[in-house]
Amino acid sequence: MNDDLILSTDTSEALISRPQMNQDIGLGRGAYVSTYGCQMNVNDTERMNTLLEMANFTIVATPQEASLIIINACSIREKPVHKVYSEVGSYRKLKDKNPLLKIGVGGCVGQQEKENLIKTQPMIDFVFGTDNIDTLPQIIAEVYSENKKVVNAKFEHRAPYHIETLVRNPGVSTFVNITKGCDNFCSFCVVPFTRGREKSRPMSHILMDVRNMVKRGAKEVTLLGQNVNSYKSEGEADFADLLEKVSKETDIERIRYTTSHPKDFNEKLMHVMAQNQHKICEYVHLPFQSGSSRILDRMNRGYTREEYISKIQTMKKLIPNLVLSSDIIVGFPGETEEDFLQTISLVEELQFETIYAFMYSPRPLTKAAKFEDQVEESVKNERLNRLFDAHEKMAFALVKKYEGQTLQVLVEKKNEQGKLYGRSTQNKSVHFLGSESLIGQTVPVKITQAFPNNMRGELVQ
């Protein structure tokens, strides 16, 4: 395949190392990566697929066509290890038919479970951690040529985070990692254990990647990290500085970022957003997790309900058309009915158009898993349903305001129904009729029907 298409960066830039490759290993072999989890894992899968193609594997669409299957698994909630074993089990017939089929597990579950996975399920041939993706070609070479089991799940604590973005086809909207890991240790969360210590990429590398993505056709970039607001480049530039540079010094048309942490979301960043609205979208995903300050304290989130509200009020003053979404956990240990009602009231008070809500799930190694006042499953379930009901009632009414409005939609693709699909600056998914030649362009679309997660509209000619 064409090297220029895969390798996005100008390698004259010092310090970016390129993974070592044995180009024979994939010849005649199909590879299939199955992906769970957050955008970080989706982006890691893209990196894996790129490395596999560079080693001459053919990326195939189904496990049936593959000689190599990788499960890039997520560990954030509910029985992740069980899910991996059940997926591996479903490949038994394929492995019986083709003894040369190799199965690997990566992602946050690979990092968390390491060799335990192979001990419990001998069909698994290799396991690799979240810091070891670039060693995938060597791992696979060992697995095939020496026919042995390989585990590589060591954190590279001392290595700087100097990667290049590897994306096969950036498309219209693409992702660039800016940090990895997390040092916040929210008491419910496994990520600090599965992604390791937080590290930031140098700003010059990120700018170079964004410029390269633009050259390859990208119109929108999402800057990715577990807590983008704690980004620190060499020379002390912070996230607001980075965002401003990406806006001013690259030709990318739209900029998004995820995920933000309320404790680190500062006024400097709000000002940069307000002053660069022609490029930085007026949409922020800012997880508050709980509306009760007592629970927030037990979650180790580093802010109170009042502080969160006050940040949102300042933000809305500076960016009046700001659209917000949030993650919420219900049934955290010790959550009373009163605490839960405070979560519902915060959703209503701040008028979130979109929420992502989850039942608390105890995770290995985390502080909250050891709390004694765990909430019963039936109560968590009932609260989750009540939260969704309350939000739905509000959100349907809230998004009606978009009907009749004309939104600027960046067209990403044609959907299965033959309509164009794109997202507005407010991150609304919009479907409308139009010519495929509009893919990659930002066009005005008048909204005819608005639902909380989806909208229909008509192209304004």
**What is the number of other CB atoms lying within 10 angstroms of the CB of residue 418?**
8
Least Å from the CB of residue 215 to ligand SF4: 32
Nearer to ligand SAH, 80 or 422 (CB): 80
Token match 């304290």: residue? 297
Residue 31: how many CB atoms within 10 A of its CB?
24
Q: What is the β-pairing status of strands 173-177 and 179-180?
A: unpaired
CA distance 81 to 288: 27
Going by C-alpha positions, the residue among 55, 5, 412 that lies closest to residue 168 is 5
Which positions touch ligand F3S (CB under 6 A)?
A: 37-38, 40-41, 74-76, 107-108, 190-191, 194-195
Q: Which of 137, 192, 262, 331 binds ligand SF4 (CB under 6 A)?
A: 192
45, 227, 233, 247: which one binds ligand SF4 (CB under 6 A): 227
Q: Is the peptide bond before 259 cis (omega within 30 degrees of 0)?
A: yes
Contact 73/109 with Cβ under 8 angstroms?
A: yes
- Of residues 68, 189, 252, 394, which one binds ligand SF4 by CB under 6 A? 189
| DSSP structural state of residue 228 | G
Among 29, 261, 298, 391, binds ligand SF4 (CB under 6 A): 261
83 versus 197: smaller Cβ distance to ligand SF4: 197
Taking CB under 6 A as the binding criterion, the range among 52-60, 150-158, 359-367, 452-460 that sits at the site for ligand SAH is: 359-367
Residue 286, Ramachandran bin (φ over 0: left; ψ between -120 and 50: alpha; else beta):
beta
**From the CB of 260, what's the least distance to ligand F3S, in Å?**
15
Could you tell which of ligand F3S, ligand SAH, ligand SF4, none binds residue 327, using a CB distance below 5 to 8 A set by kind?
A: ligand SAH
Residue from 139, 329, 355, 450 in contact with ligand SAH (CB under 6 A)? 329
**CB-based contact 89:105 (threshold 8 Å):** no
Asked if residue 360 binds ligand SAH (CB under 6 A), the reply is yes
- Per CB under 6 A, the list member of 45, 259, 290, 292 interacting with ligand SAH is 259
H helix or E strand, kind and range, residue 450 = strand 442-450
Interface with ligand SAH includes 303 (CB under 6 A)? no
Among ligand F3S, ligand SAH, ligand SF4, none, what binds residue 383 when CB lies within 5 to 8 Å by partner kind? Answer: none
Q: Give min distance, CB of 104 to ligand F3S, in A.
A: 16
Asked whether the beta carbons of 191 and 108 are under 8 A apart, the reply is yes
Task: Indicate the residue among 192 and 434 with the shorter CB distance to ligand SF4.
Answer: 192
Rounded CA separation 183/192 (Å): 6
Q: Which is nearer to ligand F3S, 71 or 74 (CB)?
A: 74
Instruction: Work out how close the CB of 74 gets to ligand F3S at its nearest, in angstroms, rounded to a whole number.
Output: 3
Question: CB of 272: closest distance to ligand SF4 in angstroms?
Answer: 21
Note the maximum CA span of the chain: 64
DSSP string, 319-370: STT-EEEEEEEES-TT--HHHHHHHHHHHHHHT-SEEEEEE----TT-SGGG
Planar angle of CA 410, 459, 456, nearest 5 degrees: 80
What minimum distance in Å lies between the beta carbon of 238 and ligand SF4? 17
Interface with ligand SF4, residue 184, by CB under 6 A = yes
Q: How far is CA 371 from CA 101, 151, 334, 364, 374, in A?
A: 43, 32, 8, 12, 7
Q: 168 to 227, contacts with ligand SAH by CB under 6 A?
A: 188-189, 191, 226-227
Taking CB under 6 A as the rule, does residue 255 contact ligand SAH?
no
Q: Indicate the SS3 state at residue 196.
A: coil
In the structure encoding, which two tokens stand for residue 132, read together?
């070891």
Helix axes 305-318, 337-350, angle to 10 degrees: 10
Q: How far is the CB of 186 from ligand SF4 (least distance, A)?
A: 3
Q: Taking each helix axis as running N to C, give the angle between helix 377-399 and helix 337-350, from 0 to 180 degrees, rounded to the nearest 10.
A: 20
- Rounded Cα distance between 117 and 127, Å, is 8
Q: Which does 107 bind (CB under 5 to 8 A by kind): ligand F3S, ligand SAH, ligand SF4, none?
A: ligand F3S
Beta carbon nearer to ligand F3S, 194 or 258: 194
List binders of ligand SF4 among 421-460 (CB under 6 A). Answer: none
Q: Between residue 143 and residue 182, which ones bind ligand SF4 under the rule CB under 6 A? A: 182
Residue nearest to ligand F3S (CB): 37
Choose the contact partner of 192 out of ligand SAH, ligand SF4, ligand F3S, none; CB within 5 to 8 A by kind: ligand SF4
Q: Please tell me whether residue 395 binds ligand SF4 under the rule CB under 6 A.
A: no
Chain residues in the site for ligand SF4 (CB under 6 A):
182, 184-186, 189, 191-192, 226-227, 261
Chain residues in the site for ligand SAH (CB under 6 A):
76-77, 188-189, 191, 226-227, 259, 261, 287, 289, 327, 329, 358, 360-361, 363
